[in-house]
């Protein structure tokens, strides 16, 4: 057993100082000799046929680089899962803001004028703008039925549950879109020419996604494409797939103009054109006994995918698997679908489908409890899943899971029971109604089903000629703390000082493909590869005889240098292997959906002013079991930040749609929480080391996005007696429902 | 073009950009001070915060002409000020920066607060930072950092 010196400690963020002093270079801080600027001209309509493009006005068009679909050297597509989305419109327009023409010039003011003088002749076609329109086939905009992807999960026999039930409770719940609003807008710089190929630098999460997209777009071999991630000002999933488009656009302009091209989105463009959280609709039909035992859940879960498939099939998959929650239910049927609409494609956003279906379930269970005359607490306690029991996909939970303990802890920290009593008395005489609510939930670590096996990620470590250790992985630092956590894991695996470990900048020409930075997989899954590679490097050094059984950091460095001197290089790689006994059936959608889950109970306390309908979240408790905590300070930061994003999702952030386009695409009218709106989040970790995660860790990044919305809405329902079925719950909705 | 004169981070500066240029662009592009960030370009996010004669302003909204004769301090100047070194170490120690794009603006606003009020209460810190948006941290660790720096 390794002794852990750094894992478990709040080692300060590696790149903290450069960020704090403003020295860190983000994409817009970089400039290349001869670089010019690029802009995107986009569709003004939701759906139509593009007839003609004209370049009008008294402008020096011959000086302005112009790119349209016909300039694409390879395939006109954004290669992600399928190749269905064009890089530039060629004929059919499928959503507002769809890119049609690219322009580049050194003078940004001139470019703005030019952008306004590109005119389109478009034959408008009927569009589909909501889940209902899509399902009723108001128009058919995808395949024969507007269904991008569907799943069916079955366990037991749902009709038997309904036959045996004492009570059947139905409910429909909906969630709105959520804008990413990373504070750094998207941006890329490209250098591209037929001789050297294509190189891009950018704000992005997944270097090898961009690599694949560029390879296809230009029809070039792997080694002619290079993608480098620079300091990235927030991602949250929003920089998972969309950066492939921007990289493609910048590269096409660079290819044609022969000069480096920078594209930086302004805020309005970023909000209108790039991906948001999928809107959803969930219908529950739940069979229960009068004692509160859940016999069956019949769930119909639908996501609005937007105009192209992009990542919707995998978002839908996670939402589907998380829909029945951490409960053991003998009979389950989940039918789910992602539908096509003529809005910009919705994409990955922290939680990835789970926040939507978890909101529906955790809200619904409060309703079921009330119908049974039980407390919200009792109905959950009677149905929590335990070690050895099976989830809806028939996955047997192998590790210990103790939800009663998590709940006890969360209720103790929030003074849940005493507050329920107190509020009941105080609310009688006050116009400000107080309430307390909670949610119990889980989040699967890493890719769903066989995803990790298909990815077959590789990561490594090497010794450098300065006698330092360098971690090699394409996983990106987007604020979550990857650099620091990897350094801690490697330092402990090698028994050296954490200061000796560097983490390579993700550059596809230098690092192996450790997979995308998504799905709460970086610390636990990629960290494990890095840890194994480090142990391999240590074993190599020992076998060479240069390293003894025990050693100091300096002796380790010395051994590396001697080895390098003799053999030239010292590098070990490690590839993903599924933990033993994992089985997933893609056809039946059954089996071990995730290697493991993180488990949590979150409690929210609110005050609702019944005169102004304003809601304030006064207290928030987040209790979770995430395996071993590698870095408590960073882990708390993930939880606190995720909870506050999710509070925004619940009660502040309202995307207003007009003809398939976000109408309030500005920070002045799309409101996220500020310092004045947030409670102090009390964070508590139960630590149960997970045998197959790096240093015992599980995934953490997305978990805090799942629980706050239902906890807050349940608290508002508790305070007011209202029946709320939709988020965001805005003051005007509260007024409508309560008066 | 008539040059604009101002004192930038303690040094006399003269710049011949159009008077209606955004101060943010002049700082970042002409003077290569890229620590000041652009998050929205419309005065909402505070990523572009600088100090003009000691007051926090959003440099994306300030035309160059407005700083004629003024004293301008950016993150690059603020972090050199020995009085504010403690902000650096406390932001490191308390996890005040995650992705870091909001951080220079947070430091600038915090420095201005501490200049006027060396020992602010927590709610005073919240007030002073209300114009600086952060999407990563949920704010608590930023406020902790400033609070620790004022002790
Ligand atoms: S960039 Fe100036 S306030 Fe956002
Ligand atoms: S640290 Fe990312 S926006 Fe504040």
Query: Could you say which of A633, A644, A667 has the minimum Cβ distance to residue B139?
Result: A644
Strands across the sheet containing A571-575: A501-503, A469-472, A458-463, A571-575
Q: What is the band of A493 on the pLDDT scale with cuts at 50, 70, 90?
A: very high
Ligand number nearest CA of B59 is: 1
What residue ranges of chain B have pLDDT lower than 50? Answer: none
Which residue reads 């902000």 in tokens? B87
CA angle A383, A388, A391 (to 5 degrees): 55
What pLDDT digit, counting tens, does each position of A155-185 carry?
999 999 999 999 999 999 999 999 999 999 9
Q: Would the CB of A234 count as within 6 Å of ligand 2?
A: yes
A236/chain B closest Cα distance in angstroms: 9
Name the packing angle between helices A553-567 and A527-543 (round to 10°). Answer: 70
Annotate A606-642 with DSSP letters as a single string: EEEETTT--EEEEEEEEEEE-BS-S-HHHHHHHHHHH
pLDDT at A1: 39
- Residue ranges and CATH numbers for the domains of chain A are 16-25+457-575 (3.30.365.10), 31-125+181-273 (3.30.365.10), 280-448+588-738 (3.30.365.10)
> A224: which 2 tokens?
């002619």
pLDDT at A582: 87
Q: Would the CB of B138 count as within 6 Å of ligand 2?
A: no
The answer to whether A316 and A284 are in contact (CB under 8 A) is: no
- As a residue count, chain A comes to 739
- Eight-class DSSP state of A667: T
Which residue reads 């049927």 in tokens? A333
Most A CBs within 10 A among B17, B81, B84, B101, hence the mutation to make, goes to B101
Tell me which of B27, B35, B40, B105 to substitute to probe ligand 1's pocket, judged by most ligand atoms within 8 Å of the beta carbon: B40
Average pLDDT, chain A: 97
The CATH number of B81-149 is which of 3.40.50.2300, 1.10.1270.20, 1.10.150.120, 1.20.1300.10?
Answer: 1.10.150.120
- Name the CATH superfamily housing domain B4-77: Beta-grasp domain (3.10.20.30)
Ligand number nearest CA of A478 is: 2
Rounded to whole angstroms, the Cα distance separating A632 from A548 reads 32
Provide the phi-psi class of A690: left if phi over 0, else alpha when psi is between -120 and 50, else beta: beta
The 10 Å Cβ neighbour count of residue A465 is: 10
Which chain A residues have a beta carbon less than 8 Å from that of B131? 674
Q: What is the band of A3 on the pLDDT scale with cuts at 50, 70, 90?
A: low
A342 CA to centre of ligand 1 in angstroms: 31
A102/chain B closest Cα distance in angstroms: 22
The answer to whether A25 and A230 are in contact (CB under 8 A) is: yes
The answer to whether A514 and A28 are in contact (CB under 8 A) is: no
pLDDT mean over A491-508:
97
pLDDT mean over A468-477:
98
Nearest Cα to Cα of residue A571 among A543, A545, A533, A539: A533
A412 CA to centre of ligand 2 in angstroms: 31
pLDDT at A449: 87
pLDDT mean over A642-660:
98
Tell if the CB–CB gap between A234 and B79 is shorter than 8 Å: no
Nearest CA in chain B to A635: B95
Nearest Cα to Cα of residue A108 among A262, A219, A221: A262
CB burial string B89-117: b at 16+ within 10 A, e below: bbbbbbbbbbbbbbbbbbbbbbbbbbeee
Tell if the CB–CB gap between B134 and A183 is shorter than 8 Å: yes
What pLDDT digit, counting tens, does each position of A594-624 carry?
999 999 999 999 999 999 999 999 999 999 9
For the entire predicted model, the pTM comes to: 0.98
The 10 Å Cβ neighbour count of residue A373 is: 9
Domain layout of chain B by residue ranges? 4-77, 81-149
Name all residues whose Cβ lies below 6 A of ligand 1: B 38-41, 43-48, 58, 60
Tell if the CB–CB gap between A20 and B91 is shorter than 8 Å: yes
Peptide bond into A728 cis (omega under 30): yes
Tell me the sheet residues that pair with A571.
A462
Does B141 reach chain A within 8 Å, measured CB to CB? Answer: yes
The shares of helix, strand and coil residues in chain A, as percent rounded to the nearest 5, are 30, 25, 40
B23 CA to centre of ligand 1 in angstroms: 11
Tell if the CB–CB gap between A22 and B35 is shorter than 8 Å: yes
- Eight-class DSSP state of B22: B
The answer to whether A373 and A339 are in contact (CB under 8 A) is: no
Nearest CA in chain B to A231: B99
Ligand number nearest CA of A181 is: 2
Rounded to whole angstroms, the Cα distance separating A498 from A534 reads 13
Nearest Cα to Cα of residue A217 among A83, A98, A43: A83
What pLDDT digit, counting tens, does each position of B102-117 carry?
999 999 999 999 999 9
- Rounded to two decimals, the ipTM of the complex is 0.98
Nearest CA in chain B to A269: B40
- Eight-class DSSP state of B26: I
Does B75 reach chain A within 8 Å, measured CB to CB? Answer: yes
Which residue reads 């660079």 in tokens? A254
Tell me the sheet residues that pair with A120.
A53
pLDDT mean over A716-733:
97
- Eight-class DSSP state of A277: B
Rounded to whole angstroms, the Cα distance separating B145 from B87 reads 7
Tell me which of B44, B101, B129 to substitute to probe ligand 1's pocket, judged by most ligand atoms within 8 Å of the beta carbon: B44
Rounded to whole angstroms, the Cα distance separating B80 from B82 reads 6
Query: Could you say which of A17, A183, A640 has the minimum Cβ distance to residue B135?
Result: A183
Percent of chain A whose predicted confidence (pLDDT) is above 90: 98
Tell if the CB–CB gap between B79 and A479 is shorter than 8 Å: no
Does B39 reach chain A within 8 Å, measured CB to CB? Answer: yes
Which chain A residues have a beta carbon less than 8 Å from that of B99? 19, 182-184, 232-235, 478-479
What pLDDT digit, counting tens, does each position of A380-438 carry?
999 999 999 999 999 999 999 999 999 999 999 999 999 999 999 999 999 999 999 99
The answer to whether A530 and A461 are in contact (CB under 8 A) is: yes
pLDDT at A83: 96
The shares of helix, strand and coil residues in chain B, as percent rounded to the nearest 5, are 40, 15, 45
Ligand number nearest CA of A232 is: 2
Which residue reads 């304003």 in tokens? A614
Nearest Cα to Cα of residue A589 among A339, A358, A400, A313: A313
Nearest Cα to Cα of residue A682 among A634, A624, A614: A624
B36 CA to centre of ligand 2 in angstroms: 14
What pLDDT digit, counting tens, does each position of A702-715 carry?
999 999 999 999 99
Tell me the sheet residues that pair with A229.
A202
Annotate A143-212 with DSSP letters as a single string: TTTSEEEEEEEEES-HHHHHHH-SEEEEEEEEE--B----SSPPEEEEEEETTTEEEEEES-S-HHHHHH
Query: Could you say which of B97, B130, B136 has the minimum Cβ distance to residue A674?
Result: B130
A501 CA to centre of ligand 2 in angstroms: 25
Rounded to whole angstroms, the Cα distance separating B95 from B134 reads 13
Rounded to whole angstroms, the Cα distance separating A322 from A312 reads 15
Which chain B residues have a beta carbon less than 8 Å from that of A18? 100
- Eight-class DSSP state of A224: G
Q: Is A25 helix (H, G, I), strand (E, B) or coil?
A: coil
Tell if the CB–CB gap between A20 and B104 is shorter than 8 Å: yes
A388/chain B closest Cα distance in angstroms: 37
Chain B, 77 to 106: residues with Cβ < 8 Å from chain A are 79, 87-88, 91-104
């Amino acid at each position: 057993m390794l002794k852990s010196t750094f894992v478990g400690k709040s080692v300060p963020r590696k790149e903290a100082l450069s960020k704090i002093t403003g020295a860190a270079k983000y994409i817009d801080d970089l400039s290349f000799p001869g670089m010019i600027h690029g802009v995107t001209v986009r569709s003004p309509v939701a759906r139509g046929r593009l007839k003609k493009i004209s370049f009008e006005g008294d402008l020096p068009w011959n000086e302005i680089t112009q790119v349209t679909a016909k300039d694409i050297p390879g395939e006109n597509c954004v290669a992600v899962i399928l190749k269905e989305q064009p890089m530039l419109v060629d004929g059919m327009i499928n959503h507002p803001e769809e890119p049609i023409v690219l322009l580049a010039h050194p003078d940004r003011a001139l470019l703005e004028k030019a952008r306004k003088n590109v005119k389109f002749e478009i034959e408008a076609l009927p569009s589909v703008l909501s889940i209902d329109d899509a399902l009723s086939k108001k128009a058919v905009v995808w395949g024969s039925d507007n269904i991008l992807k569907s799943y069916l999960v079955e366990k037991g026999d749902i009709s038997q549950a309904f036959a045996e039930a004492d009570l059947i409770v139905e409910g429909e719940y909906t969630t709105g879109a959520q804008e990413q609003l990373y504070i750094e807008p998207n941006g890329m710089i490209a250098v591209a020419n037929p001789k050297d190929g294509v190189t891009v630098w950018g704000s992005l999460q997944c270097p090898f996604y961009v690599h694949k997209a560029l390879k296809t777009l230009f029809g070039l071999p792997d080694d002619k494409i290079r993608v480098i991630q620079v300091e990235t000002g927030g991602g949250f999933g929003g920089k998972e797939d969309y950066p492939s488009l921007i990289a493609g656009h910048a590269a096409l302009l660079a290819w044609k103009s022969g000069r480096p091209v920078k594209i930086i989105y302004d805020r309005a463009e970023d909000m209108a054109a790039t991906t948001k959280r999928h809107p959803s609709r969930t219908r529950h039909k739940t069979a229960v006994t009068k004692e509160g035992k859940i016999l069956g859940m019949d769930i119909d879960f639908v996501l609005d995918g937007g105009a192209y498939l992009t990542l919707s099939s995998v978002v839908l998959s996670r939402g589907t698997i998380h829909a029945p929650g951490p409960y053991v239910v003998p009979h389950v049927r989940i039918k789910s679908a992602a539908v096509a609409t003529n809005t910009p494609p919705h994409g990955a956003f922290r939680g990835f489908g789970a926040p939507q279906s978890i909101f529906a379930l955790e809200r619904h269970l409060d309703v079921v409890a009330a119908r049974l005359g039980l407390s919200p607490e009792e109905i959950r306690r009677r149905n929590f899943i335990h070690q050895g029991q099976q989830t809806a996909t028939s996955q047997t939970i192998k590790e210990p899971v103790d939800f009663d303990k998590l709940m006890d802890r969360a209720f103790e920290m929030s003074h849940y029971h005493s507050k329920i009593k107190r509020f009941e008395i105080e609310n009688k005489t006050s116009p400000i109604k107080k309430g307390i609510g909670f949610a119990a939930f889980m989040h699967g670590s890493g890719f769903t089903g066989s995803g990790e096996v298909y990815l077959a990620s590789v990561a490594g470590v090497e010794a450098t000629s300065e006698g330092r250790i360098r971690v090699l992985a394409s996983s990106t630092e987007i604020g979550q703390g990857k650099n620091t956590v990897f350094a801690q894991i490697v330092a402990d695996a090698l028994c050296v000082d954490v200061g000796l470990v560097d983490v390579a900048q993700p550059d596809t020409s230098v690092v192996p493909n450790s997979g995308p930075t998504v799905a709460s997989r970086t610390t636990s899954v990629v960290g494990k590869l890095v840890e194994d590679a480090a142990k391999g490097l240590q074993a190599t050094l020992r076998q060479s005889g240069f390293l003894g059984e025990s050693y100091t950091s300096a002796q380790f460095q010395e051994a590396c240098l001697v080895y390098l001197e003799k053999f030239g290089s010292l590098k070990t790689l490690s590839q993903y292997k599924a933990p033993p006994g994992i089985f997933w059936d893609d056809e039946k959608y059954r089996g071990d959906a995730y290697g493991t889950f993180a488990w949590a109970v979150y409690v929210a306390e609110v005050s609702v002013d019944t005169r102004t309908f304003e809601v304030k979240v006064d207290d928030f408790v987040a209790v979770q079991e995430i395996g071993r905590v590698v870095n408590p300070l960073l882990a708390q930061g993930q939880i606190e930040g995720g909870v506050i994003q999710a509070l925004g999702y619940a009660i502040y952030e309202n995307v207003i749609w007009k003809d398939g386009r976000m109408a309030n695409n500005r920070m002045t009218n799309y409101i996220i929480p500020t310092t004045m709106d947030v409670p102090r989040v009390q964070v508590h970790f139960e630590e149960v080391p997970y045998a197959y995660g790096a240093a015992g860790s599980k995934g953490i990044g997305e978990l805090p996005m799942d629980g706050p919305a239902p906890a807050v809405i349940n608290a508002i329902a508790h305070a007011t007696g209202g029946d709320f079925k939709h988020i965001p719950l805005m003051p005007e909705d509260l007024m409508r429902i309560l008066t | 073009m008539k040059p604009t004169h101002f004192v930038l981070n303690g040094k006399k500066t003269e710049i011949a950009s159009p008077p209606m240029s955004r101060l943010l662009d002049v700082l970042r592009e002409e003077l290569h001070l890229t620590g000041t960030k652009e998050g929205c370009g419309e005065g909402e996010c505070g990523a572009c915060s600088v100090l003009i004669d000691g007051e926090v302003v959003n440099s994306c909204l300030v035309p160059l002409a407005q700083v004629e004769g003024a004293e301008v301090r950016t993150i690059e100047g603020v972090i050199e000020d020995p009085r504010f070194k403690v902000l650096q170490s406390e932001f490191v120690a308390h996890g005040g920066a995650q992705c870091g794009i909001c951080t220079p603006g947070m430091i600038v606003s915090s420095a201005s607060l501490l200049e006027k009020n060396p020992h602010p209460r927590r709610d005073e810190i919240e007030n002073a930072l209300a114009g600086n948006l952060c999407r990563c941290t949920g704010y608590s660790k930023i406020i902790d950092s400033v609070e620790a720096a004022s002790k």
